[in-house]
């Protein structure tokens, strides 16, 4: 195993409990590399103590950044025996039922409406996969949306252009602070509201970008007082001004106030919070990078403090800053950080990772339909910091590709119940534009089995609170989740099931540490 892969394996083992140690180790190796020689040419590389570094330009300077890989699978041994071990694979009756012993077990649904026990924390095992028949560049499709594209400057395909301040590769410095007002004073430190959100956002970018984009935070631990009443800065749910100040005027006041306490000349974005008990301002604030000659500015409104992970909101906006349109696929609405920052899965959709040029060859199995032959593959869940194959892409035509992903509770799916797992299949069609006001999107999740539905289907009007208690969430007056664990299982292919679509047969063979699938051409 290479040094870069060793670092990925360590990250996979203890990211949630030891992020600081990991990043300190990387910084230490980087310092040792810099002492050995200056970074003088963009794209050059060196290896120090089994860690590969690449020379990139950021903030007008050439610096070394660590290049890490998440492609090599590893093993951490066999689980110890316990009374619960003997129940693995045995039948159960209630989805989500858990047995908590030395090995935690959970009851999950499989094919034919059956249920069985799975290990919640599966032991890592060495996994090998066949070589991808085609380069991942074969699965990059041209943008064929009707012109002009709205909103302007957004991308759904490779290559894309980051907004001013954001970089395709390198370090982005972000100011983290809090604003208060004379009629809404803050208490304590605004950093207490942020908690570990900056560190989680950093780990998100580190993992999904394969170390290409690193976030560096410049924090201020006291409240910065803005002039006048808080009502001057009132915005609506979608960043529109609802006060005497325009968005440009607000942005300039935010920037000038922060500039008095922090160096901002090299920041790509400002993240801020308001006091928790503020009443005048509830909604978020957002301004993209480059607008009015300022860096990106994003603020988090108190109305979501109790329901949305702060890191997910800021990550969502930073992905837009990378140039992605996002917000696709839509149904089932709560899947992926770039669709909804309050979803049960806050991973990065592998199509978007491909568009960003963050994905590595061995993470994706790309095959043109005409070249597809029968094959079995092991997919690693995209929500977990887990090495291996993360996506299967089957190119159907010059504008369509099927994307198959595995899903599970993990580091980037804090709201996903351990009873939920499965494969999603989405159809990307680059002739389709994503709209903001309806369900139209560049890609759609395919429904695998309506038999999985336990509650009213997507789009059924919600007329009383009873439906919400049944697991339905509401978006513009209709139910969008419709499942007891907050997700419509009819969009999941489960162990033992098969889906035939676009002339391709996808069979879910077995679920465990990875999900084994077989692909073939349907007759």
Return d(Cα 471, Cα 175) in angstroms, integer.
38
Task: With residue 11 as reference, give the H or E element that holds it.
Answer: helix 3-36
Does some domain include residue 475? no
> What are the tokens at 190?
């605004």
> What are the tokens at 180?
């208060």
Does some domain include residue 155? no
pLDDT at 102: 79
Return d(Cα 208, Cα 337) in angstroms, integer.
12
Write down which residue in 306, 321, 336 finishes a domain.
321
pLDDT in tens, 77-115: 334 445 566 789 999 998 889 998 878 999 999 999 899
How many Å is the Cα radius of gyration of the chain?
Answer: 23
Do residue 248 and residue 383 come from a single domain? no
Do residue 333 and residue 309 come from a single domain? no
Give mean pLDDT, residues 272-283: 93
- DSSP output for 363-383: GEEEEEGGG---EEEEEPBTT
Return d(Cα 379, Cα 286) in angstroms, integer.
36
- At 459, the pLDDT band (50, 70, 90 cuts) reads low
Does some domain include residue 480? no
pLDDT in tens, 121-171: 888 888 899 999 999 999 999 999 988 776 777 899 999 999 999 999 999
CA distances from 393 to 33, 138, 367, 379 (A): 38, 10, 6, 12
Does some domain include residue 74? no
Do residue 335 and residue 401 come from a single domain? yes
Return d(Cα 392, Cα 401) in angstroms, integer.
10
Does some domain include residue 265? yes
Do residue 317 and residue 328 come from a single domain? no
Do residue 300 and residue 414 come from a single domain? no
Do residue 229 and residue 329 come from a single domain? no
Do residue 376 and residue 307 come from a single domain? no
Write down which residue in 321, 341, 360 finishes a domain.
321
Give mean pLDDT, residues 12-32: 41
Q: Give the number of domains in the chain.
A: 4
> By residue range, what is the domain housing residue 61?
3-67
What totals of helices (H) and strands (E) does the chain contain, helices first?
7, 22
Alpha helices in 322-451 (DSSP H): 350-355
CB 339 within 8 A of CB 330: yes
| DSSP summary character for residue 155 | B
Do residue 175 and residue 140 come from a single domain? no
Do residue 442 and residue 380 come from a single domain? yes
Q: State which of 39-53, 84-98, 280-294 shows the largest mean pLDDT.
A: 280-294
Give mean pLDDT, residues 372-399: 96
Does some domain include residue 131? no
Cis peptide before 350 (omega within 30 of 0): no
> What are the tokens at 100?
């908590």
Nearest 5°: the CA angle 213, 48, 54 is 30
Contacts of 511 (CB under 8 A, 6+ apart): 108, 118, 421, 495
Does some domain include residue 79? no
Write down which residue in 321, 349, 377 finishes a domain.
321
CB 218 within 8 A of CB 267: yes
pLDDT in tens, 324-378: 999 898 866 668 899 877 778 899 999 999 999 999 999 999 999 999 999 999 9
Contacts of 213 (CB under 8 A, 6+ apart): 167, 168, 169, 170, 171, 172, 205, 322, 358
Does some domain include residue 126? no
Please tell me whether residue 408 adopts helix, strand or coil conformation: strand
Do residue 241 and residue 265 come from a single domain? yes
Return d(Cα 430, Cα 62) in angstroms, integer.
36
Do residue 370 and residue 405 come from a single domain? yes
- At 52, the pLDDT band (50, 70, 90 cuts) reads low
pLDDT at 29: 43
Do residue 317 and residue 220 come from a single domain? yes
């Amino acid at each position: 195993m290479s040094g870069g892969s060793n670092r990925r394996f360590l990250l996979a083992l203890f990211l949630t409990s030891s992020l600081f140690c990991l990043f300190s180790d990387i910084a230490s190796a980087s310092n040792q590399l810099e002492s050995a020689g200056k970074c003088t040419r963009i794209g050059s590389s060196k290896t120090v103590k089994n860690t590969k570094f690449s020379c990139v330009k950021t903030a007008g300077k050439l610096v070394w950044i660590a290049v890490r890989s998440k492609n090599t699978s590893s093993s951490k041994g066999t689980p110890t025996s316990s009374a619960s071990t003997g129940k693995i694979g045995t039948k159960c009756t209630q989805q989500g039922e858990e047995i908590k012993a030395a090995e935690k077990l959970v009851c999950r649904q499989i094919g034919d409406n059956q249920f069985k026990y799975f290990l919640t924390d599966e032991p890592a095992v060495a996994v090998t996969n066949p070589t991808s028949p085609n380069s991942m560049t074969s699965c990059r499709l041209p943008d064929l949306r009707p012109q002009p594209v709205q909103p302007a400057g957004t991308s759904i395909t490779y290559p894309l252009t980051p907004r001013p301040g954001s970089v395709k590769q390198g370090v982005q410095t972000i100011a983290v602070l809090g604003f208060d007002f004379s009629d809404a004073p803050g208490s304590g430190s605004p950093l207490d509201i942020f908690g570990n959100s900056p560190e989680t956002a950093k780990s998100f970018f580190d993992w999904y970008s394969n170390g290409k984009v690193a976030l560096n935070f410049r924090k201020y631990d006291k409240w910065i007082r803005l002039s006048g009443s808080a009502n001057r800065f009132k915005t609506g749910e979608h960043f529109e001004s609802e006060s005497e100040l325009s968005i440009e005027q607000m942005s300039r006041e935010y920037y000038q106030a922060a500039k008095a306490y922090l160096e901002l000349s090299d920041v790509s974005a400002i993240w801020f919070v308001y006091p928790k008990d503020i009443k005048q301002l509830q909604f978020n604030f957002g301004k993209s990078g480059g607008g009015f000659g300022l860096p990106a500015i994003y603020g988090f409104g108190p109305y979501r403090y109790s329901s949305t992970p702060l890191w997910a909101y800021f990550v969502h906006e930073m992905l837009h800053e990378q140039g992605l349109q996002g917000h696709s696929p839509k149904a089932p609405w709560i899947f992926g950080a770039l669709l909804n920052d309050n979803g049960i899965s806050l991973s990065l959709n592998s199509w978007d990772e491909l568009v960003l040029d963050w994905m590595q060859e061995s993470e994706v199995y790309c095959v043109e339909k005409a070249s597809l032959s029968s094959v079995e593959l092991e997919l690693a869940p995209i929500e977990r910091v887990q090495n291996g194959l993360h996506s299967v892409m089957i190119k159907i035509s010059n504008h369509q590709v099927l994307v198959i992903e595995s899903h599970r509770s993990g580091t980037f799916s804090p709201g996903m119940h351990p009873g939920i797992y499965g494969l999603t299949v989405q159809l990307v069609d680059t002739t389709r534009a994503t709209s903001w006001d309806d369900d139209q999107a560049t890609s759609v999740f395919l429904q695998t089995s309506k038999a999985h539905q336990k509650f009213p289907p997507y789009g059924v009007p919600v007329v009383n609170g009873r439906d919400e208690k049944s697991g339905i969430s509401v978006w513009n007056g209709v139910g969008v989740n419709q499942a007891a664990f907050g997700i419509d299982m009819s969009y999941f292919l489960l162990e033992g099931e098969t889906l035939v679509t676009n002339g391709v047969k996808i069979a879910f063979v077995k679920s465990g540490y990875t999900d084994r699938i077989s692909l073939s051409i349907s007759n």
